[in-house]
Amino acid sequence: MKNVVVVGSQWGDEGKGKIVDWLSSEADVVIRFQGGHNAGHTLVIDGITYKLRLLPSGIVRKNKISIIGNGVVVDPWALLDEINEIKSKGIEISDKNLILSESANLILPFHREMDEIREDTAGKAKIGTTRRGIGPAYEDKVGRRSIRVMDLISEKNLDHRLETVLLHHNAIRKGLGKDMFHKNKLKKDLLEIAPKILKYSQPVWKKIDEFKRQGKKILFEGAQGILLDVDHGTYPFVTSSNTVASSAATGSGCGPNSINYVLGITKAYTTRVGEGPFPTELTNEIGEQLGHRGKEFGTVTSRKRRCGWFDGVLVRQTIKISGIDGIALTKLDVLDELEEINICIAYELEGKRIDYLPAAMDDQLKVKPVYKTFKGWMSPTKGIKKINDLPENAKIYIKELEKFIETKISSISTSPERNDTILIVDPFKV
């Protein structure tokens, strides 16, 4: 059986939610392997909109098992709120179809506060985080002082772990002139919700091994995009986890030989939320038009997304970094009303032409895009389900894009609706 990893090939917001939901009809298990509730996926199914932040996209489908892996940082209160929100829309959620890794690290109130403090005091150097506490939680994980799901089992152990982590955080808070964070109230709150969280807790690595032995199809669901990867993205304007496909193995507890196909979700133009370099950004009427037609507002924060032309240089780069086998091209219909469409095919840096985004932030801010221009198709593609029904200029754009990024396009999305998808290659059957 094929196991598929889905990752975003840009700065996130590529439409992964719809594609994962579409693929989950074939999968038996859907696993979220990194990030936290800073990444949102919007699904539209039978006219009902589901906004997911921590829960894997498979949760809205019957007879699917959804897993939150050890690579995810989990705000336990946010998770319970999301479970209740999705339940209110008629979706059944229990320990039979939702599994939470016992090794997942928790986001606690002082993480959120630290996130806010840093952003508020950073001035022009702010990263543009979602202020959900993701970064500080990952810092505690790496610093070996984090509270994990399994720590909720024992009050004595939880007390000790809280002493350790607050010793670190209160020293920083004191230095910043902030009030100390007191342990007892937090411990009481955690012990109160512990049974509600622990009922979903299992050793995920063991469950994955069982599923593999049973021949189940597994879909690994990434959050954000490769350009936000802490190692390979536009550092320091990145997230705090590895968003590349290989972290699916690390963030869930299975070997890389469990991954058979990597699908990169790629928007037909480019967007970015928050601060940082964006070589093809459009601050003109076309950028506004893309944002309006594409409804480019964040699922989690409602922040307006920055919009620009398709950056072929960046997508080709992320394809190579993440080992992407095929591309799911999304939001093609957003381009329907444009007379001309550009694709970035190179950069100019201090008079020299280069074919990649350099690692240094100063250089990333200096690069100028080199464009290839295509005629628009000026006719609707929304809802088209067969590639031969696309306008001729749309076919040309897709073919040239595919040729430049050196990777096959496996599907094309022509609206937010699940069934408005042109399937060229089924990742589960390659």
Asked whether 101 and 61 are in contact (CB, 8 A), the reply is: no
Length of the chain: 430
Is position 13 annotated as part of the catalytic site? yes
Among 37, 41, 111, 232, the active-site one is 41
169 classed as catalytic: no
Question: Catalytic residue numbers?
Answer: 13, 41
